Amino acid sequence: MAAHATPRRANLSEFLQITPVFGLPPIWLNPLLRGMPRKWRFWRGGLASCGQPRGNVQKVLEQMRLIVGIVVVLLSVFGGYMAMGGHIEVLWQPFEAVIILGAALGAFCIANPPTVLKAVGSIFGALFKGPRYDKDAFLELLGLQYTLFKLAKSKGNLALEAHVENPAESAIFAQFPKFTSDHHAVEFMCDYLRMITLGTENAHELEALMDEELETHHQERERIVSAVQALADGTPALGIVAAVLGVIKTMGSIDQPPEVLGGLIGGALVGTFLGVFVAYGFFGPMAQSLRNTYEAESKYFLSMKAGLLAHMAGYAPAVSIEFARKALMSEVRPTFIEVEQATAALQAAG
């Protein structure tokens, strides 16, 4: 029986180089890390000793990003308030929250079509998980394009017909499970390969059609982002509404002693605080996070577009996937050597 390999020890500097979630550039930390004792090490994987590969650490941290951000916002605001002598119980104004968040929910329903309302569940999934495509997924996509383009170069574009008409039973697509699990990606690839097999020769016309489809997909995503951004824009004003209602209530108790009036006025001002707090502490960052996630995911389709157009231009499969590779963001873009090794492994398996 082969002995289990001992996981390599990774020092703190290596760990932080793959943890941009905390927003700490490693170059700033190097002087500090050099001064730390060498015994301050931990096993690579998970966060302590989970034994997971380095890529899995990145995925765990990406999922922690939302939780870490929420905790930091809450601790900074409420912790700072209590540290300067504030009484946390004064902030407990549940009916102010009902006015603000309830009105925001109603406005959200009024403003958005049913397709956006149905996508609310996916919003939290995207916020928690981040972009669905990682470096391995992009490397697999490049491998699929290489395999398809190589088949087309050796046997002609018509050889692709059987695969694009029934990708679920295709021996080629079966080698790439991450890609085939994405219905939209499979549909996009097969639709344009089908058009090529049917005799489409004008690359400019095909590019224009791709751009139109990708723009439509972008607009569908942008409606979701805009809906969340509208919450961020509107909740401060709803906070003022809650505060005004609180002031109206206070004016009805104008004959009360100052300490009572002070409590009522403080409670009314909580409405303004809560509206601004949820807008800039949560809804605004959520909208930006969704925008970043959707933009990162769009590169998956732009990579397919670049590869397909290069194939139509007559380039060799290795060159076509280099066009596709260059369309990817640097943090998830495989190196030329990694792509070369992956395609060599595909040829050996074939």
Q: What pLDDT, in 10s, does the model give residues 275-310? A: 999 999 999 999 999 999 999 999 999 999 999 999
Three-state DSSP class for residue 42? strand
Q: How many whole angstroms separate alpha carbon 105 and alpha carbon 231?
A: 9
Phi, psi angle pair for 19, to nearest 5°: -125, 65
Say if residue 175's pLDDT is above 70: yes
C-alpha of 240 from chain center: 32
- Largest alpha-carbon pair distance within the chain? 92
Average confidence (pLDDT) over 315-343: 93
The alpha-helical segments, DSSP class H, found in the chain are 12-17, 26-34, 54-74, 80-83, 94-111, 114-118, 120-129, 135-155, 161-165, 177-180, 183-197, 203-251, 258-278, 284-312, 317-326, 336-349
Q: Which two tokens stand for residue 220?
A: 């569908």
Identify the DSSP state of 132: S
Percent of the chain scoring above 70 in pLDDT:
81
What does the angle CA 92 – CA 98 – CA 101 come to, to the nearest 5 degrees? Answer: 110
Smallest Cα–Cα separation from 140: which of 347, 330, 334, 336?
334
Whole-number pLDDT of residue 347: 67
Q: What is the CA radius of gyration of the chain?
A: 27
Q: Which long-range contacts (CB under 8 A, 24 or more apart) does 111-117 make?
A: 111/227, 111/230, 112/223, 112/227, 113/223, 115/220, 115/223, 116/223, 116/224, 116/227
Whole-number pLDDT of residue 253: 83
pLDDT band at 16 (very low <50, low <70, confident <90, very high): very low
Helix axes 120-129, 54-74, angle to 10 degrees: 110
Three-state DSSP class for residue 334? coil
